[in-house]
Structure 1
């Protein structure tokens, strides 16, 4: 049974989401002290976090940043805020998805299922955990990339994107294919979400002087180069 930490201060909404997720055999935990979310996160050890932006004392961005400092657990923002910068900020801080209120519960459940399946199943389904790419060691199990310039740690989403591109190295992977790989059903994904994830991945790889080896092919998709970047 997967454990979900639902960080939501609207008690009515919390109970409704908890009840719906419980019907799918998820163990849902709430927050008693919104001033110390990290303490409760550490106690619960959730497999996934669902968090609102507007919360008492500190907003969801604050807690997302602190959770990311401790863990790569998948995070979904659930918020009534609809400004594009809110979605961009959540992705930049390491969130895996953003669902705007009001929402359909079928969409929430589909996203939860897809993320949990992707994050916790793909490592066990693939026997190859270590891959060499452009002189760097890519560790799928540890979500790290290392070369002579150092080592970086990727989020689950970033590593999954990199894995797909490496497995298709020197070949263009369309945005539609990537979204299909990531979320199983592209209807639940925005182009902006994918763009932010790829840009964040390229920025991190830049620390290892590998950022230019992930290229954007306008109108086509993305490509991981094995030789010299163009």
Structure 2
């Protein structure tokens, strides 16, 4: 049974989410102490986190960063904030998806089930390997992108995108291919979600001083290319 950790300060929404997930045989844990979220996360070891943004003490962005330092466990942000910048900021701080309130329970369950399948179920990659191009190595066992100088921990989405780009090198991967491979139903994906994840991945290539970069091919998709030192 998959464990879901629900970090939401609205009791009604927390109850609604819990009832819906429980109906589909998920084991739910709701936050007990908002200033001890990391400790609760470590004790529960959930398979997925549902995170609100407006929380007591610190916001959901802060806790997403903290959780991402410990785990690649998928994080779905559920928030009443509807601005693009909030969604971008959520993904940049480690979230894998963003749902705006009020939301359809069908859409919510589709996103939860999709992330569970991608991470642990029938669509989870069984190819635990090390891929090296130029001076850069993608290690899917440790979920890290690294060079001889530095390394960076990837989120689940970043690793999946990175692996597709590595596997396709030096060919172009279309946006449609990336969306279809990473998200079960691209109908439910916010328009800028792929762009944000690609942008965040680009920064990690820069941080580790990689000789690779992700090039945008206008009107088509993305291509992993080697740049000169």
SS in 2 for 1:138: strand
Matched, 1:53 2:33: no
| TM-score (structure 1 length as normaliser) | 0.92
Equivalence for 1:172: 172
- The alpha carbon displacement at 1:123 in A equals 8.9
SS in 1 for 2:131: strand
Q: Provide closer, same or farther for how the CA distance between residues 83 and 125 of structure 1 changes in structure 2, counting only shifts above 3 A.
A: closer
SS in 1 for 2:49: strand
| TM-score (structure 2 length as normaliser) | 0.93
Where does structure 1 lack aligned partners over 5 or more consecutive residues?
Answer: none
Equivalence for 1:67: 67
Distance 1:178 1:40 in 2: 34
Matched, 1:23 2:23: yes
Q: Provide closer, same or farther for how the CA distance between residues 85 and 125 of structure 1 changes in structure 2, counting only shifts above 3 A.
A: closer
Aligned residues: 228
Distance 1:33 1:15 in 2: 16
Equivalence for 2:109: 109
Where does structure 2 lack aligned partners over 5 or more consecutive residues?
Answer: none
- The alpha carbon displacement at 1:66 in A equals 1.6
SS in 1 for 2:120: helix
What's the C-alpha RMSD, in Å, of the aligned pairs?
1.8
Distance 1:154 1:93 in 2: 12
Equivalence for 2:91: 91
SS in 2 for 1:201: helix
SS in 2 for 1:213: strand
Q: Is the 8 A contact 1:64 1:94 kept in 2?
A: yes
Distance 2:108 2:211 in 1: 33
- The alpha carbon displacement at 1:139 in A equals 0.8
- The alpha carbon displacement at 1:228 in A equals 4.4
Q: Is the 8 A contact 1:4 1:26 kept in 2?
A: yes
Distance 2:125 2:46 in 1: 22
Q: Provide closer, same or farther for how the CA distance between residues 188 and 123 of structure 1 changes in structure 2, counting only shifts above 3 A.
A: closer
- The alpha carbon displacement at 1:151 in A equals 1.7
1:67-117, Cα deviation, whole Å (9 max, x unpaired): 122222111100011111111110110110000001101111111111111
- The alpha carbon displacement at 1:161 in A equals 0.1
1:129-159, Cα deviation, whole Å (9 max, x unpaired): 1112223221112111222222221111101
Distance 1:128 1:64 in 2: 26
Q: Is the 8 A contact 1:123 1:141 kept in 2?
A: no
- The alpha carbon displacement at 1:212 in A equals 4.8
Q: Provide closer, same or farther for how the CA distance between residues 125 and 60 of structure 1 changes in structure 2, counting only shifts above 3 A.
A: closer
